[in-house]
Amino acid sequence: MPEQGKRPRKRGAAALTALSCLGVAALAGCGGGDGDAARNAPAASRTAAPSPTPTPGWDPAPGSVAAVGDSITRGFDACGVLADCPEVSWATGSDGAVRSLAVRLLGPSKAAERSWNHAVSGARMAQLPAQMALAAKERPELVTVMIGANDACRDSVRLMTPVADFRASFETSLRRLRAGAPKAQVYVSSVPDLKRLWSTGRTSELGKKVWQLGICRSMLADADDLGPAAVARRDAVRERVVAYNEVLRDVCAKDRHCRYDGGAVFDFRFTGAQLSPWDWFHPSRDGQARLAEIAYRNVTAAEPPARGPAA
Protein backbone atom coordinates (compact mmCIF):
# COMPACT_ATOMS: atom_id res chain seq x y z
CA MET A 1 0.00 0.00 0.00
CA PRO A 2 1.62 3.30 -1.10
CA GLU A 3 0.26 5.24 1.83
CA GLN A 4 1.87 2.91 4.31
CA GLY A 5 5.17 3.04 2.48
CA LYS A 6 5.32 6.78 3.14
CA ARG A 7 5.04 6.43 6.89
CA PRO A 8 8.27 7.25 8.75
CA ARG A 9 10.14 4.15 9.87
CA LYS A 10 10.41 5.61 13.37
CA ARG A 11 6.62 5.75 13.76
CA GLY A 12 6.15 2.16 12.62
CA ALA A 13 8.87 0.90 14.93
CA ALA A 14 7.36 2.75 17.86
CA ALA A 15 3.96 1.21 17.17
CA LEU A 16 5.41 -2.28 17.00
CA THR A 17 7.38 -1.79 20.23
CA ALA A 18 4.27 -0.60 22.06
CA LEU A 19 2.27 -3.53 20.80
CA SER A 20 4.95 -5.98 21.86
CA CYS A 21 5.11 -4.53 25.37
CA LEU A 22 1.37 -4.55 25.90
CA GLY A 23 0.66 -7.88 24.24
CA VAL A 24 -1.92 -7.54 21.51
CA ALA A 25 -5.29 -9.07 22.23
CA ALA A 26 -7.31 -10.43 19.35
CA LEU A 27 -9.71 -7.53 19.05
CA ALA A 28 -11.25 -7.85 15.62
CA GLY A 29 -13.49 -5.61 13.66
CA CYS A 30 -12.63 -4.21 10.30
CA GLY A 31 -14.11 -4.13 6.85
CA GLY A 32 -13.16 -4.30 3.28
CA GLY A 33 -13.35 -1.72 0.23
CA ASP A 34 -14.65 1.15 -1.96
CA GLY A 35 -18.20 1.82 -0.84
CA ASP A 36 -19.69 3.21 -4.02
CA ALA A 37 -17.63 1.05 -6.31
CA ALA A 38 -17.86 -2.52 -5.31
CA ARG A 39 -20.68 -4.91 -5.25
CA ASN A 40 -18.47 -7.65 -6.58
CA ALA A 41 -17.90 -10.35 -4.00
CA PRO A 42 -17.25 -13.62 -5.84
CA ALA A 43 -20.40 -15.22 -7.14
CA ALA A 44 -19.62 -18.40 -5.24
CA SER A 45 -20.22 -16.53 -1.99
CA ARG A 46 -23.71 -15.44 -2.96
CA THR A 47 -27.13 -16.93 -3.30
CA ALA A 48 -30.09 -15.41 -5.10
CA ALA A 49 -30.94 -12.15 -3.36
CA PRO A 50 -34.60 -11.50 -2.60
CA SER A 51 -36.03 -8.24 -3.86
CA PRO A 52 -35.96 -5.44 -1.31
CA THR A 53 -39.24 -4.46 0.26
CA PRO A 54 -40.00 -1.03 1.70
CA THR A 55 -39.37 -0.72 5.42
CA PRO A 56 -42.84 0.15 6.82
CA GLY A 57 -42.91 3.60 8.34
CA TRP A 58 -39.13 4.10 8.14
CA ASP A 59 -38.13 7.58 9.33
CA PRO A 60 -35.03 8.84 7.42
CA ALA A 61 -34.50 11.61 10.00
CA PRO A 62 -34.45 10.02 13.48
CA GLY A 63 -33.95 12.37 16.41
CA SER A 64 -31.54 10.26 18.47
CA VAL A 65 -28.99 7.48 17.89
CA ALA A 66 -27.66 4.67 20.07
CA ALA A 67 -24.82 2.46 18.86
CA VAL A 68 -24.02 -1.14 19.80
CA GLY A 69 -21.30 -3.43 18.56
CA ASP A 70 -17.57 -4.05 18.79
CA SER A 71 -14.22 -2.32 18.36
CA ILE A 72 -15.05 -0.70 15.03
CA THR A 73 -17.83 1.32 16.64
CA ARG A 74 -15.50 2.21 19.52
CA GLY A 75 -12.90 3.61 17.08
CA PHE A 76 -10.28 1.15 18.35
CA ASP A 77 -6.74 1.86 17.10
CA ALA A 78 -7.91 4.82 15.02
CA CYS A 79 -6.17 7.48 17.14
CA GLY A 80 -3.45 5.60 19.00
CA VAL A 81 -2.09 2.18 19.78
CA LEU A 82 -4.35 -0.32 21.54
CA ALA A 83 -6.93 2.26 22.63
CA ASP A 84 -10.56 3.07 21.97
CA CYS A 85 -11.21 6.43 20.34
CA PRO A 86 -15.02 6.84 20.40
CA GLU A 87 -14.80 10.43 19.21
CA VAL A 88 -14.02 9.09 15.72
CA SER A 89 -16.71 6.38 15.76
CA TRP A 90 -18.59 6.13 12.47
CA ALA A 91 -21.86 5.88 14.42
CA THR A 92 -21.76 8.47 17.20
CA GLY A 93 -18.37 10.22 17.13
CA SER A 94 -17.86 13.96 17.33
CA ASP A 95 -14.76 14.25 15.11
CA GLY A 96 -15.26 16.82 12.35
CA ALA A 97 -13.23 14.84 9.81
CA VAL A 98 -15.34 11.71 10.29
CA ARG A 99 -18.78 13.36 10.47
CA SER A 100 -20.42 10.37 12.12
CA LEU A 101 -23.89 9.15 11.33
CA ALA A 102 -25.21 10.93 14.41
CA VAL A 103 -23.60 14.22 13.38
CA ARG A 104 -24.92 13.91 9.82
CA LEU A 105 -28.44 13.18 11.06
CA LEU A 106 -28.66 15.49 14.07
CA GLY A 107 -25.96 18.14 13.70
CA PRO A 108 -22.97 18.42 16.07
CA SER A 109 -24.75 20.03 19.03
CA LYS A 110 -27.74 17.72 19.14
CA ALA A 111 -25.58 14.67 18.42
CA ALA A 112 -23.60 15.41 21.58
CA GLU A 113 -26.81 15.33 23.61
CA ARG A 114 -28.84 12.69 21.77
CA SER A 115 -26.40 9.90 20.88
CA TRP A 116 -24.93 7.08 22.97
CA ASN A 117 -22.22 4.51 22.28
CA HIS A 118 -22.68 1.18 24.09
CA ALA A 119 -20.30 -0.82 21.88
CA VAL A 120 -17.46 -2.75 23.54
CA SER A 121 -14.13 -3.60 21.91
CA GLY A 122 -13.73 -7.35 21.59
CA ALA A 123 -17.48 -8.02 21.88
CA ARG A 124 -19.02 -10.99 20.12
CA MET A 125 -22.66 -11.56 19.25
CA ALA A 126 -23.24 -13.30 22.59
CA GLN A 127 -22.62 -9.94 24.30
CA LEU A 128 -25.04 -8.01 22.09
CA PRO A 129 -28.22 -8.69 24.12
CA ALA A 130 -26.73 -6.87 27.12
CA GLN A 131 -25.72 -3.93 24.95
CA MET A 132 -29.19 -3.79 23.43
CA ALA A 133 -30.77 -3.70 26.87
CA LEU A 134 -28.62 -0.66 27.70
CA ALA A 135 -29.52 1.01 24.41
CA ALA A 136 -33.23 0.42 25.04
CA LYS A 137 -33.01 2.45 28.26
CA GLU A 138 -32.09 5.52 26.21
CA ARG A 139 -35.32 5.13 24.19
CA PRO A 140 -33.44 6.02 20.97
CA GLU A 141 -35.19 6.57 17.66
CA LEU A 142 -32.38 4.71 15.84
CA VAL A 143 -30.02 1.94 16.97
CA THR A 144 -26.98 1.06 14.86
CA VAL A 145 -25.57 -2.47 14.97
CA MET A 146 -22.13 -3.55 13.75
CA ILE A 147 -20.93 -6.82 15.25
CA GLY A 148 -19.75 -10.26 14.17
CA ALA A 149 -16.10 -9.84 13.19
CA ASN A 150 -14.93 -11.13 16.57
CA ASP A 151 -17.14 -14.21 16.18
CA ALA A 152 -15.04 -15.16 13.15
CA CYS A 153 -11.75 -13.70 14.41
CA ARG A 154 -10.70 -16.40 16.83
CA ASP A 155 -7.47 -18.23 17.53
CA SER A 156 -8.62 -21.04 15.25
CA VAL A 157 -11.42 -21.87 12.83
CA ARG A 158 -12.71 -24.42 15.33
CA LEU A 159 -13.43 -21.65 17.86
CA MET A 160 -15.59 -19.50 15.57
CA THR A 161 -19.13 -18.93 16.84
CA PRO A 162 -21.55 -21.50 15.37
CA VAL A 163 -24.07 -19.94 13.00
CA ALA A 164 -27.01 -21.22 15.05
CA ASP A 165 -25.65 -19.57 18.19
CA PHE A 166 -25.01 -16.36 16.28
CA ARG A 167 -28.64 -16.36 15.11
CA ALA A 168 -30.06 -17.08 18.55
CA SER A 169 -28.09 -14.24 20.14
CA PHE A 170 -29.13 -11.75 17.47
CA GLU A 171 -32.78 -12.71 17.86
CA THR A 172 -32.46 -12.30 21.62
CA SER A 173 -30.83 -8.90 21.07
CA LEU A 174 -33.77 -7.59 19.09
CA ARG A 175 -36.20 -8.92 21.68
CA ARG A 176 -34.26 -7.09 24.41
CA LEU A 177 -34.46 -3.88 22.43
CA ARG A 178 -38.16 -4.28 21.73
CA ALA A 179 -38.89 -4.86 25.41
CA GLY A 180 -37.74 -1.33 26.20
CA ALA A 181 -37.97 0.51 22.90
CA PRO A 182 -40.62 -1.19 20.77
CA LYS A 183 -40.59 1.38 17.98
CA ALA A 184 -36.88 2.12 17.73
CA GLN A 185 -35.51 1.76 14.23
CA VAL A 186 -32.52 -0.55 13.79
CA TYR A 187 -29.82 -0.16 11.16
CA VAL A 188 -27.72 -3.33 10.81
CA SER A 189 -24.30 -3.22 9.15
CA SER A 190 -22.94 -6.36 7.53
CA VAL A 191 -19.83 -8.04 8.91
CA PRO A 192 -16.71 -6.89 7.01
CA ASP A 193 -14.94 -9.18 4.56
CA LEU A 194 -12.01 -10.28 6.71
CA LYS A 195 -10.31 -12.07 3.83
CA ARG A 196 -10.19 -8.84 1.87
CA LEU A 197 -8.60 -7.18 4.92
CA TRP A 198 -5.90 -9.87 4.93
CA SER A 199 -5.30 -9.30 1.23
CA THR A 200 -4.92 -5.53 1.68
CA GLY A 201 -2.94 -5.50 4.93
CA ARG A 202 -0.41 -8.18 3.96
CA THR A 203 1.29 -5.70 1.62
CA SER A 204 2.78 -4.05 4.73
CA GLU A 205 5.78 -5.82 6.24
CA LEU A 206 5.36 -3.99 9.54
CA GLY A 207 1.65 -4.78 9.49
CA LYS A 208 2.37 -8.49 9.19
CA LYS A 209 4.74 -8.29 12.15
CA VAL A 210 1.97 -6.70 14.21
CA TRP A 211 -0.43 -9.45 13.15
CA GLN A 212 2.00 -12.04 14.49
CA LEU A 213 1.32 -10.69 17.97
CA GLY A 214 -2.15 -12.21 17.91
CA ILE A 215 -4.70 -10.26 15.84
CA CYS A 216 -7.46 -12.39 14.28
CA ARG A 217 -5.37 -15.54 13.99
CA SER A 218 -8.08 -17.50 12.22
CA MET A 219 -7.61 -15.20 9.22
CA LEU A 220 -4.29 -13.36 9.66
CA ALA A 221 -1.95 -16.03 11.04
CA ASP A 222 0.95 -16.91 8.70
CA ALA A 223 -0.08 -14.08 6.38
CA ASP A 224 2.26 -15.11 3.54
CA ASP A 225 1.38 -18.80 3.62
CA LEU A 226 -0.46 -19.57 0.38
CA GLY A 227 -0.43 -23.34 0.81
CA PRO A 228 -3.62 -25.42 0.58
CA ALA A 229 -4.22 -25.59 4.34
CA ALA A 230 -3.85 -21.83 4.82
CA VAL A 231 -6.07 -21.08 1.83
CA ALA A 232 -8.72 -23.48 3.14
CA ARG A 233 -8.54 -21.86 6.59
CA ARG A 234 -9.08 -18.35 5.21
CA ASP A 235 -11.87 -19.56 2.95
CA ALA A 236 -13.60 -21.16 5.95
CA VAL A 237 -13.47 -17.85 7.84
CA ARG A 238 -14.88 -15.98 4.87
CA GLU A 239 -17.67 -18.52 4.43
CA ARG A 240 -18.58 -18.11 8.10
CA VAL A 241 -18.73 -14.32 7.68
CA VAL A 242 -21.04 -14.79 4.69
CA ALA A 243 -23.25 -17.05 6.83
CA TYR A 244 -23.32 -14.45 9.62
CA ASN A 245 -24.44 -11.82 7.12
CA GLU A 246 -27.23 -14.08 5.93
CA VAL A 247 -28.38 -14.32 9.55
CA LEU A 248 -28.29 -10.54 9.98
CA ARG A 249 -30.27 -10.10 6.77
CA ASP A 250 -32.89 -12.73 7.56
CA VAL A 251 -33.49 -11.83 11.21
CA CYS A 252 -33.62 -8.13 10.41
CA ALA A 253 -36.16 -8.78 7.64
CA LYS A 254 -38.58 -10.19 10.23
CA ASP A 255 -38.54 -6.97 12.26
CA ARG A 256 -40.70 -4.24 10.72
CA HIS A 257 -38.44 -1.48 12.09
CA CYS A 258 -35.12 -3.02 10.98
CA ARG A 259 -33.04 -2.18 7.90
CA TYR A 260 -30.00 -4.24 6.78
CA ASP A 261 -27.25 -2.55 4.75
CA GLY A 262 -27.51 -5.06 1.90
CA GLY A 263 -23.88 -6.09 2.39
CA ALA A 264 -22.43 -2.59 1.88
CA VAL A 265 -19.79 -2.91 4.61
CA PHE A 266 -18.87 -6.43 3.50
CA ASP A 267 -18.29 -5.08 0.00
CA PHE A 268 -16.37 -1.96 1.02
CA ARG A 269 -12.74 -2.01 -0.16
CA PHE A 270 -10.57 -0.27 2.41
CA THR A 271 -7.32 1.18 1.07
CA GLY A 272 -4.15 1.37 3.11
CA ALA A 273 -4.98 4.94 4.12
CA GLN A 274 -8.29 3.72 5.53
CA LEU A 275 -6.67 1.13 7.82
CA SER A 276 -5.19 1.84 11.24
CA PRO A 277 -1.44 2.62 11.11
CA TRP A 278 -1.20 0.76 14.44
CA ASP A 279 -2.56 -2.63 13.40
CA TRP A 280 -3.38 -2.51 9.65
CA PHE A 281 -6.73 -4.11 10.37
CA HIS A 282 -9.17 -1.74 12.10
CA PRO A 283 -10.46 1.35 10.27
CA SER A 284 -8.43 4.53 10.51
CA ARG A 285 -10.11 7.93 10.95
CA ASP A 286 -10.59 8.03 7.17
CA GLY A 287 -12.00 4.50 7.23
CA GLN A 288 -14.46 5.51 9.92
CA ALA A 289 -15.60 8.39 7.72
CA ARG A 290 -16.28 5.99 4.85
CA LEU A 291 -18.40 3.81 7.15
CA ALA A 292 -20.35 6.90 8.24
CA GLU A 293 -21.03 7.73 4.59
CA ILE A 294 -22.37 4.24 3.91
CA ALA A 295 -24.63 4.33 6.95
CA TYR A 296 -25.99 7.79 6.23
CA ARG A 297 -26.75 6.88 2.64
CA ASN A 298 -28.68 3.75 3.68
CA VAL A 299 -30.49 5.25 6.67
CA THR A 300 -31.75 8.24 4.67
CA ALA A 301 -32.67 6.28 1.51
CA ALA A 302 -36.35 6.04 0.64
CA GLU A 303 -36.00 2.30 0.06
CA PRO A 304 -33.72 -0.22 1.79
CA PRO A 305 -30.80 -1.67 -0.19
CA ALA A 306 -31.22 -5.07 -1.82
CA ARG A 307 -30.86 -7.75 0.84
CA GLY A 308 -28.16 -9.99 -0.54
CA PRO A 309 -26.67 -12.61 1.82
CA ALA A 310 -23.19 -11.14 1.71
CA ALA A 311 -23.56 -8.42 -0.87
What is the pLDDT at residue 79?
Answer: 96
What is the pLDDT at residue 308?
Answer: 57
Average pLDDT across each block of 10 residues of the chain; the chain has 311 residues. List them in order: 37 44 39 35 40 67 98 96 95 98 98 98 98 98 98 97 98 98 98 95 88 93 96 98 98 97 96 91 96 98 76 48
What is the pLDDT at residue 200?
Answer: 92
What is the pLDDT at residue 4?
Answer: 34
How big is the chain, counted in residues?
Answer: 311
What is the pLDDT at residue 29?
Answer: 38
Query: Whole-model pTM above 0.85?
Result: no
220 vs 144: CA distance, rounded Å: 27
Domains of the chain: 24-36+55-300 (3.40.50.1110)
What is the pLDDT at residue 81?
Answer: 87
What is the pLDDT at residue 11?
Answer: 41
What is the pLDDT at residue 26?
Answer: 37
Beta bridge partners of 116: 66
